[in-house]
Structure 1
Amino acid sequence: MDTAAASLFAAAAKPRGILSPLHVPGGGLLPRDRSSALLAIRCAHSHAPPPPPLPSADSQRATADAHPRLRLRRLADEFRALPSDAHRARRLLSLAAALPRLPEPDRAPGNRVMGCVARVWIVARCDPATTGERMWFAADSDSELSRGYCAFLVAALDGSTPEEVLSVDPSDPNLAPLGAGMTASRSRASMWHNVLVSMQKRAHAAIAAREGRHSVEPFPSLVITRDGAVRAQGSYAEAQAMFLSPDESKISELVNTLIEKKIGVVAHFYMDPEVQGILTAAKKQWPHIHISDSLVMADSAVKMAEAGCDYVTVLGVDFMSENVRAILDQAGFDKVGVYRMSSELIGCSLADAASSFEYSNFLREASRYYPSLHVIYINTSLETKACAHELVPTITCTSSNVVPTILQAFAEIPDVNVWYGPDSYMGANIIDLFERMATLSDVEIAKIHPNHNRKSISLLLPRLHYYQKCRYMADMALVAPKKQPLEPLT
């Protein structure tokens, strides 16, 4: 390394005054001089070609005294004015070198900025007794370019009031310090946006603390008191609570139509709360309304037909309507009409997965083993169930009976292989559940299923298979940058 380069490297490695650590001796916060901070942030340590001339001291002072939104815009303009991506990258690396590292306790999960490609942490302080109701920020990242962007934001917003921090619009394109053609601009823009939003969340918390309010929105809950009153906690729950008292005119209109045309209604739990609120109120006047999971919906439709309903309306996705139609036909009510919510397709991701080429490969593998039983989740079409049954004997289950169904199959059929799908998450959970069951006593296992014990549970595990999409897509490659955090890839 030549002497000039060595000198520049040494200078870049020295701490600069753009950010003082939040943890200083004695635990206090040291206010920083903004003009010197903004002067330091414009220093670059690259030796060729040199960056544009530094702004004058007067312009730095004016920037320091400006509203943070204007400071941010001026810094962004200067950043974009650099002649090339190489200059911008060098400037970011310069800012990163000048940014003090956060102490290890502050690099905690609670301070992580989520949604960033690299790991980023942000810490904020706002103590009226020491900072005069102004906010002081510090940030860090395991990516040098991300550290540069963090330094950029800290220099612009550090020392602002919470209200000033909140006045910055994250969607303002004039504020983002991204030059045209900047490498990986989309991911960098997302990181820059997420850090700014995290700073604003801390500003909201500072205002809430100042006003004596909770800084975190309470978990949305509908609390039912002993006397039957309903109290909503959180803005989302307050919106849901409104649906518990629906418009009486809408209820009357619905009930009159259902009674006149003898229509029963089966709806899934996933229906919007507004719909469920009206249906629940209408049921008090017309009993042939039922809200449940998909399996019980069909059984309820049969009871409605037995009670004299000429039609059943299904509020759910397509496979639910198919189930209702099939069960009604099986029960001898083929004259009862079944109506869907829409003339358009109402799909389901699990149903789509079960009709895929990959799931067919899963079933072909199952067909090579004898005896085999395919346990398919109810969230699939009748066509899928029928095609699966052609390859492997198939039985339908839902989340409420999948465990007893599988245990009963192993108890009744010697040496059977059970193949479950297409819900991979549920399949993995079932395996985990049975592995935990294998550690219980025989008495405890018998309470779950009387025909099983520790030995039988241990023996069935190697013969229990579930659909794992990645296994049946062996030709797919996952491409990720080297700086991608390990968490999403594991």
Structure 2
Amino acid sequence: MGCSAQAWVHASIDAANGTVRFAAASDSDITSGLAAVLVAALSGLTPAEVLDADASWLRALGLGGAAGAVAASRVNGFANMLEAMKRRARMLTAEVPRFPSLLISKDSLEPQGAFAEAQAQYLRPDVATVDRLAATLREKQIGVVAHFYMDPQVQGVLSAAAEQWPHIHISDSLVMADAAVKMAEAGCRAVGVLGVDFMSENVRAILDEAGHTDVQVYRMSSSPIGCSLAEAAESAAYDRFLSEAAATPNSLHVVYINTSLLTKATADALVPTITCTSSNVVQTILQAFAQVPELTVWYGPDTYMGRNLAQLFTMLASADDADIKALHPAHDRATIRALLPRLRYFDAGTCIVHHIFGGETCELVRARYGDAYLTAHFEVPGEMFTLAMEAKARGMGCVGSTSNILDFIAGKLEGALAAPYGDRLQFVLGTEAGMITSIVRKVQAMLAAAGRDDVEVEVVFPVAPQSISTPRQAVAPGAAPLSLPGGLSIVPGPAGGEGCSLEGGCAACPYMRMNTLDALLGVCGRVGAPGGEAALAAFKPRAYAERVGGKTVAAAGCVPILHMRHFSQKKVLGDVLVDDIRGRHASA
């Protein structure tokens, strides 16, 4: 509901005239009254008319605001109940496909669909495998840093092994290198990096800069482990983007953290640069314009995030000044409108995983899960961003980083645990499916601490509806497999709607999936073994030999990161960066 009250909605079709009849109830008198208003307004309409109902008429009732009759949370609940009624009307008239999901309770996991089964399979890993890995890491003094987007099989084993060996760290890319330095300081002789290549390159460079040149760093494949987003920032098109920024006075390049140190170093040599994450990018840009009003911001390389930022600021330009100042006290409608023409973003860089959260996938999210909690990474296409922002306005959505999404789920669960009755919370996971491991561990820990068996969390995995797949075969023992004319056997795919396609079937990064459990065990097995160093030569990350502006790549590439850390701590851009913005073009 968006408030602490529970509400129940039922819908049925009147066979005589094809209209919808609603019934609703709540454990709160106020919410029951609001539900009665909706029941009276929508009952007797056709399903199409119900679906066309616009939430704007709710505001015309004057229930919320400073002079409103009810609290803002009740008004949010009113809008959420409308979404629930629309979903039920839609379900009465059409068979809407169901995405795979994972139901999490205190002591169990219940997957629905083949994709969810694959995610759940490894969340309780084989004990012997965990013991073997932990023993090998301890014996050979190997640390492991891994990204949140690892396959659940790998994350499950690593999370369990971390209880036996402390030098295992799973996080986003920002702190992976910092964790590796701490491992080296604690005596680790090698660090395995489970991520894409720019992450292992960052670890190597930062370890070298910290004086740990003797600590070996290993990737999990002898082949390149790419990243479409990081590669976009190393393209000729991005060079042209930065050259235009360098030619523009008072420019600031805001670069996404998921890029290489070399990208950050070479960019800062051309134009003043600050790193951002998906959780701090909005505040970074607003603060930059507050301190340098004549600024031009150049954001890259993620095009979807750039478009979403432009959409967000366009929405803010029409918002109430009070709402804008709640986001940033130095801004109002006038300042937001003034900055819009000077917010530029790169238009040719995307994450291949977040690309699936658009078009038909979003249509299905709206159709079947419009009344669920919607979460979206800032990198998703505009359609999913819009859905999540609409849900956020009703207290039912989150747009941000993986950490923001995890905190949002935990916060909603905390609210449910504070209530005396049972509940099932449903979240649509609008980001890489690999973070389900962190979600499961967090949710089950909270449920166990509260001793609650009557509260559950369902995580829904959107997948591409045009995926090429077949229903799983149920072939009796000894029966012949299905075959095509000519005798070619059919290999059954995953459950309908959950397979692979040219658009990407599910939110799973194919590059991250190169970091397999077998690869990790194989690399660890070769460390310190006779001939192992030669066998692992192809598993070492690229070492930066270049110097940028007279500095090593690590030193130069860390400058934009240090600017970001100053902002995170002080909430303002540092004087060094502001002076660089205003003076760089003048001194060129």
The TM-score, its normalising length taken from structure 1, stands at: 0.49
Between 1 and 2, higher relative CO (CA 8 Å, sep ≥ 6) is seen in 2
Question: What TM-score, normalized by structure 2, do the two folds share?
Answer: 0.41
